[in-house]
Amino acid sequence: MDGEKPSRELLGYSVVIEHPRRRLIDNDIRPLPLISAVARFVWTMAGNARLADIAFYEPQVERFTDDGLSVPGSNYGARLRQPYPGFDQVRGAIDRLRDGDSKVAGADGKLRRAANVIWKPEDALRMSKDIPCAFGLFYFPREDKLLTQLVMRSNNAVALMPFNIFEFTLLAEVIAVEAELELGPFRVDAMSMHIYDWDEERVRQILASPIGTGVEMPPIPAGSNALEQLDLLAQREAELRHQLHTLADESLKQVLARGEGLDSYWRPFFEILLTQALGKAKRLDLAREVAGQLPDYFSYQVAAELEERFGSVEPEGSGPAAIAEPTLFPISKPGEEVAHAFRDNGIDTDHLHTLLDEIEQSEGIRLSHQQADEVARAIAEKKVDIAARSEGEGDAEDFKAVDRTDVLRAIRRLGFDR
């Protein structure tokens, strides 16, 4: 059990990934959401913890912030790349791997001191929604290969492990290339590998579906200054997000030119993020064009994600006035957003608002405006099973009959609890 959330777990779980470049999970039931995965990786390598930077791509992260501004535990990059001004653990590990001299190697000449630390002592004490799941990484150069070990405090096998495999194997490859080593096997040690009970049916479907080997990405080119490219990628991504309103009038050639300076390996990462920005700017046709020219190992998933995210947006040409500029601060408080969403769907606002507050306190589930709206609509349209407690058996006019269990069931059915 994890608090009040029923789960099943394996303690001390370990798995070795022999081919880390096969990091793109292509299971039909649980494919890796590439837009979110790439955004998360770039956000991590940017080394900052601003909530708005990642919520642009994945609003659900808002559930884990304590102050509405940052998620310093969830962003491993803030701890890896600048735990203190001027300190970069990733660069430090690369330097140590490159040197490998007697000062840092053991008596047998084997280096054991290349490591990145994510957890901090205060994480054992502070009360927060935002405690990191990852403890740290260890890098071992052996026979010209880099062996990497990731240690996780806790790992959700369904919701988060696919993301962790993608981001940490990619980080390991960046470090290997910079240290002039071949990428070797990648090991994951999870102190608690778990699934929640509401995911059991999806797990059964995953296990019953064909077992793939993952889509393999090409090697990062040797001598390509991968860290410099990642820094540039983070800069280009920030420019893209902050200049969202300008996308309304740009051509395909102009939007692609925004990736200037990125090499052939990292430019597709930028173009994946570009599809999200174009979708938000209501340029879905242009987003589809960009997705269509991505490398095969990316395009297989991005096109489908675009339809899922933006398939119902207004036609291209809605104009700049229809574009919402990104902002650091929410327009209204979470409680007001929830109330607005339920009111729009004809539901007893005060009653369900109270239920949402109770669920946030007991379950740690905080919904964005969009998510609250979907929950309200699911209840209003009876897309979830609502227990009958009146003669009307759950008629829309009798939403007082809806209780905490019903709302929580809707949240979980929609996947907003992860």
Could you read off the pLDDT of 100-139 as tens digits, one per residue? 654 566 656 688 889 999 999 999 999 998 999 999 999 9
Indicate whether 49 and 164 sit together in one domain: yes
Indicate whether 155 and 297 sit together in one domain: no
Evaluate if pTM is beyond 0.85.
Answer: no
**Inside any domain, residue 328:** no
Indicate whether 306 and 256 sit together in one domain: yes
Of 112-121, 282-291, 404-413, give the lowest mean pLDDT range.
Answer: 404-413
**Inside any domain, residue 418:** no
Residue 258 confidence class, pLDDT cut points 50, 70, 90: very high
**Inside any domain, residue 86:** yes
Indicate whether 19 and 68 sit together in one domain: yes
* Residue-range definition of the domain harbouring residue 250: 227-322
> What pLDDT, in 10s, does the model give residues 2-15?
445 688 999 999 99
State which of 322, 345, 378 marks the end of a domain. 322
Indicate whether 66 and 201 sit together in one domain: yes
**Inside any domain, residue 137:** yes
Q: Write down the mean pLDDT value for the chain.
A: 83
Indicate whether 237 and 380 sit together in one domain: no
Contact between 125 and 119 (Cβ < 8 Å): no
Query: How confident is the model at residue 70, as a pLDDT?
Result: 92
Query: How confident is the model at residue 111, as a pLDDT?
Result: 86
Query: How confident is the model at residue 142, as a pLDDT?
Result: 93
Strands 182-196 and 145-152 turn out to be: parallel
Q: Could you give phi then psi for residue 29, rounded to 5 degrees?
A: -85, -40
State which of 280, 300, 322 marks the end of a domain. 322
CA gap 284, 315 in Å, rounded: 8
> What pLDDT, in 10s, does the model give residues 149-168?
999 999 999 889 999 999 99
> What would the two tokens of residue 359 be?
């669920």
State which of 217, 245, 266 marks the end of a domain. 217
- At 113, which CATH number? 3.30.572.10
The residue ranges of DSSP E strands in 270-314, in sequence order, are none
The percentage of residues in the chain with a pLDDT greater than 90, rounded to a whole number, is 52
Query: How confident is the model at residue 317, as a pLDDT?
Result: 43
**Inside any domain, residue 327:** no
Highest mean pLDDT: which of 21-30, 53-62, 138-147, 347-356? 138-147
Instruction: Tell me what the mean pLDDT of segment 392-396 comes to.
Output: 42
Give kind and range of the element (H or E) at residue 7: strand 7-17
Domain count, the chain: 3
Query: How confident is the model at residue 277, as a pLDDT?
Result: 96
Indicate whether 44 and 105 sit together in one domain: yes
Instruction: Tell me what the mean pLDDT of segment 307-324 comes to.
Output: 54
Indicate whether 89 and 155 sit together in one domain: yes
Q: Could you give phi then psi for residue 76, rounded to 5 degrees?
A: -65, -25
Query: How confident is the model at residue 338, as a pLDDT?
Result: 53
**Inside any domain, residue 65:** yes
**Inside any domain, residue 81:** yes
Indicate whether 256 and 378 sit together in one domain: no
The DSSP line for 130-150 is ---SEEEEEEEEETTEEEEEE
Indicate whether 231 and 178 sit together in one domain: no
What long-range pairs does 65-72 form, CB within 8 A, spacing at least 24? 65/129, 65/130, 66/128, 66/129, 66/130, 68/329, 68/330, 69/328, 71/130, 72/130
Residue 377 confidence class, pLDDT cut points 50, 70, 90: confident
Indicate whether 239 and 189 sit together in one domain: no
Indicate whether 129 and 236 sit together in one domain: no
Q: What letter represents residue 383's amino acid?
A: K
Residue 373 confidence class, pLDDT cut points 50, 70, 90: confident
**Inside any domain, residue 172:** yes
In 3D space, the residue among 213, 207, 145, 139 whose CA is nearest the CA of residue 181 turns out to be 145
**pLDDT surpasses 60 at 333:** no
Instruction: Tell me what the mean pLDDT of segment 270-297 comes to.
Output: 95
